[in-house]
Amino acid sequence: MGDWESRARAGTTVCVFRPTCIAMVFLVAACGSDDSESREFDASGATQVDAAAIVDAAAAVDANRPDALPSVTDASTAERTTLFPQFCPSSVTAPGLYEGTLASNLNDVSGCGALSAPGRDGAVRLELEPGASVSATLRHGGDGAVYILDACPVVSSCLDASDQSISGAETVSYTNDTGITNTVYVVLDSDDLAGPQTFELDLSVSQ
């Protein structure tokens, strides 16, 4: 940061702080004197600077550092990536916040286990390492449903399913305890071929 140096000035010993930054500011304070006044000078030593103003400015800069800004935790205001769910896709989808529509999709998968979902659907594929967990939350423009299949489009391979609400969010989760990397499919579905088909998907994977 800098070094302190003692100097004699006009019969008074002063302490001079030399910061290492390019724009040097000398901090001059009385040492061993009755004069306890502190002054700050610019590099030329000719212009007095308001100490309180410098402190306030430093605080303002510190408050605006990126690591000081609050993080966005509200999924409803977060930036989302457009997603195009497909029928049993071969490519893996990374965890993230997504949005899209199922308007061009068909009813390729009829549900998951006992859950029946005759609406338009699409899936995303994940490769889960041993011990990894996936969580998926779907907000559908209509009556949405979401489920996880161990094999697509095999309805009997259902790992978890949710169709709890007519218009609210649906959440499913699964932990890979097979001991090997496991491929699973998160299927976004609905109860109706007609009506709204837009959606938001929060997809997370943790180890």
- Percent helix, strand and coil across the chain, each to the nearest 5: 10, 45, 45
Give per-residue pLDDT as tens, 153-205: 999 999 999 998 888 899 999 999 999 999 999 999 999 999 899 999 999 99
Number of domains observed in the structure of the chain = 2
Mark whether 119 and 193 lie in a shared domain.
Answer: yes
Mark whether 94 and 63 lie in a shared domain.
Answer: no
pLDDT at 148 over 80: yes
Mark whether 174 and 91 lie in a shared domain.
Answer: yes
Three-class DSSP category at 131: coil
What pLDDT does 175 receive?
Answer: 98
CB-based contact 15:6 (threshold 8 Å): yes
Average pLDDT of every residue of the chain? 78
Place of tokens 């800004």: 69
Mark whether 162 and 101 lie in a shared domain.
Answer: yes
- 76 falls within a domain: no
Name the more confident of 90 and 74.
Answer: 90
CB-based contact 193:105 (threshold 8 Å): no
Domain with 180, as residue range(s), is: 81-206
Give per-residue pLDDT as tens, 34-50: 444 444 444 445 445 45
Mark whether 135 and 172 lie in a shared domain.
Answer: yes
Instruction: Report how far residue 24's alpha carbon sits from residue 147's, in angstroms, rounded to the nearest whole number.
Output: 62
Name the more confident of 55 and 104.
Answer: 104
What pLDDT does 183 receive?
Answer: 98
- 74 falls within a domain: no
Q: How far is the CA of 113 from the CAs of 16, 117, 157, in angstroms?
A: 77, 10, 7
Mark whether 202 and 140 lie in a shared domain.
Answer: yes
Mark whether 94 and 60 lie in a shared domain.
Answer: no
- 142 falls within a domain: yes
Mark whether 110 and 30 lie in a shared domain.
Answer: no
* ∠ CA 135-141-147, rounded to 5°: 30
Instruction: Report how far residue 72's alpha carbon sits from residue 68's, in angstroms, rounded to the nearest whole number.
Output: 12
Name the more confident of 96 and 65.
Answer: 96
CB-based contact 205:160 (threshold 8 Å): no
- 73 falls within a domain: no
What pLDDT does 56 receive?
Answer: 58
Indicate the burial class of 86 (C-beta count within 10 angstroms; 0-12, 13-18, 19 or more): middle
- 75 falls within a domain: no
Mark whether 48 and 105 lie in a shared domain.
Answer: no
pLDDT over 90 for what percent of the chain?
57
Mark whether 178 and 103 lie in a shared domain.
Answer: yes
Q: Which two tokens stand for residue 190?
A: 């609905």
Instruction: Report how far residue 185's alpha carbon sits from residue 190's, in angstroms, rounded to the nearest whole number.
Output: 16
CATH number of the domain bearing residue 101 = 2.60.120.380
